Amino acid sequence: MGEIVNSEVLSISFDNCTIERDFLSEFLRVQNSPQTKRLYAASIEHFFQSVAGLSASPQTIAAFLQLEQGQAIEVVLRYKADLQQTDLKPATINNRLAAIKSLVNHAQKLGRCDFDLKHVKGLKSQAYRDTTGVEPGVYRDAINTIDRTTPKGKRDYAIARLLWDNALRRVEIERLDLGDYQRPKLWIRGKGRGEKEVIDLSAKSIQALDEWLAARDSCKNDEPLFIALDNHAYGSRLSGRSIDRNVVKKFGVETKVLSPHKVRHSTITAALDRTNGDVRKVQKFSRHRKIDTLLIYDDNRLGVQGEITDTVADLV
């Protein structure tokens, strides 16, 4: 990606900017999620590399934060326009813009800048296009291929049960500690939430977790609930990427490429089927903040759009 503006635009404030500390590190430290920290750090670095050809150093950030309102908006809007010329999805572009806007909002609260970016709007995106996932029977057959006589198999089966039985997100499983499991409850930190919340576990999940813990060498409350078992990283927290690559995608489902989020789609759709579309009840299960999201699931489940298309087509 080419530069949107050259470094002279941001160098306006270089001579007079005051650099007391690493503002970026302080900003990232107050973010709740490790995933958000990584995303924001990468997005902010990309922004400064793109607009000025410079890294996100304290001096570069201080220079940007000392721009006038009009200058700052112009820089960010040019960056947005440049992103739109790429093949990036609207959601990815919005994430990168959100990182910059969050940085500026944090700086405003601390009196470090005098402008805001409220006039920089994100792009409209269509979320949850494919919410179907796989049928319950297909998923059941897939996880039954896991060899539960080995520690790895016991671990993977417990993860598979939590993904289905409670529609847990990948990051929610990654964050779990042993102390979070308090039979028959599990304390999780949901998406975008600072505080943990408690959920009920199924009998099958409890049995799977008990079998996995019985195969563990160590079971201290502050240790990760799911750990790596390979020689290189034994005992370390099982990363979200490992859950995706080494657990879910090896379940053996041939009809659809599985990921933790596809499993979540599958179980939420199955819950809607079993409750005859009771979106309010299923919202308690899926923990979606907005019921509108579940309405998308329900419409996709029923094929509403295709049904209406066929109906109006018959009129002509």
The answer to whether residues 25 and 65 belong to one domain is yes
The answer to whether residues 98 and 145 belong to one domain is no
Is residue 184 reached through a cis peptide bond, with omega within 30 degrees of 0 on the bond before it? Answer: yes
Going by the DSSP 8-state scheme, the letter that residue 248 receives in this structure is G
CATH number assigned to the domain comprising residue 176: 1.10.443.10
The answer to whether residues 20 and 153 belong to one domain is no
What's the CA gap between 187 and 258, in Å, rounded? Answer: 25
The answer to whether residues 158 and 295 belong to one domain is yes
Q: Which amino acid is at 145?
A: T
The answer to whether residues 141 and 223 belong to one domain is yes
Show pLDDT as tens, one digit a residue, over the chain (316 residues): 444 444 444 444 444 444 445 788 889 998 877 888 999 999 999 999 999 889 999 889 999 999 999 999 999 999 999 998 888 888 899 999 999 999 999 999 999 899 999 989 988 765 545 677 788 998 999 899 999 999 999 999 999 999 999 999 999 999 999 999 999 999 998 776 668 999 999 999 999 999 999 999 888 899 999 999 998 899 999 998 899 887 777 665 555 678 898 899 999 999 998 998 899 999 999 998 888 888 888 878 877 666 666 666 666 5
- In a domain, residue 16? The reply is yes
Report long-range pairs for 174-178 (Cβ below 8 Å, ≥24 apart). Answer: 174/226, 174/237, 174/238, 174/239, 174/240, 174/243, 176/224, 176/225, 176/226, 177/221, 177/222, 177/223, 177/224, 177/225, 178/213, 178/219, 178/220, 178/221, 178/222, 178/223, 178/224, 178/225
Q: Which of 90, 109, 128 is the last residue of a domain?
A: 109
Query: Which residues share a beta bridge with 199?
Result: 186
Q: If you search the block for the tokens 């989020």, which residue do you land on?
A: 261
Taking Cα atoms as reference points, which of 54, 55, 136, 40 lies closest to residue 97?
40
pLDDT for the residue numbered 214:
95
- Give one DSSP letter per residue of 83-109, joined into a string: HHTSS--HHHHHHHHHHHHHHHHHHHH
- In a domain, residue 131? The reply is no
Domain count along the chain: 2
The answer to whether residues 186 and 247 belong to one domain is yes
The answer to whether residues 70 and 35 belong to one domain is yes
Q: Which of 94, 109, 124 is the last residue of a domain?
A: 109
Contacts of 299 (CB under 8 A, 6+ apart): 305
- In a domain, residue 315? The reply is no
Q: What is the pTM of this model?
A: 0.65
SS3 state of residue 237:
strand
The answer to whether residues 166 and 257 belong to one domain is yes
The answer to whether residues 209 and 168 belong to one domain is yes
- In a domain, residue 125? The reply is no
Cα Rg for the chain, rounded, in angstroms?
A: 24
- In a domain, residue 272? The reply is yes
Q: Which amino acid is at 291?
A: I
pLDDT for the residue numbered 34:
84
| Kind plus residue range of the DSSP H or E element containing 181 | strand 181-182
The answer to whether residues 141 and 19 belong to one domain is no
Strand order in the sheet with 197-200: 181-182, 185-188, 197-200
- In a domain, residue 2? The reply is no
What's the CA gap between 120 and 100, in Å, rounded? Answer: 10
Q: Is 53 left (phi over 0), alpha (psi -120 to 50) or beta?
A: left
Range of the domain at 174: 136-307
Helices (H), the chain: 7-10, 23-29, 34-52, 58-65, 69-84, 90-109, 136-143, 151-165, 170-174, 203-214, 240-242, 260-274, 279-286, 291-302, 304-313
The answer to whether residues 206 and 290 belong to one domain is yes
pLDDT for the residue numbered 7:
43
The answer to whether residues 257 and 181 belong to one domain is yes
- In a domain, residue 153? The reply is yes
- In a domain, residue 205? The reply is yes
pLDDT for the residue numbered 11:
44
Q: Provide φ and ψ at 224, rounded to 5°.
A: -60, 145
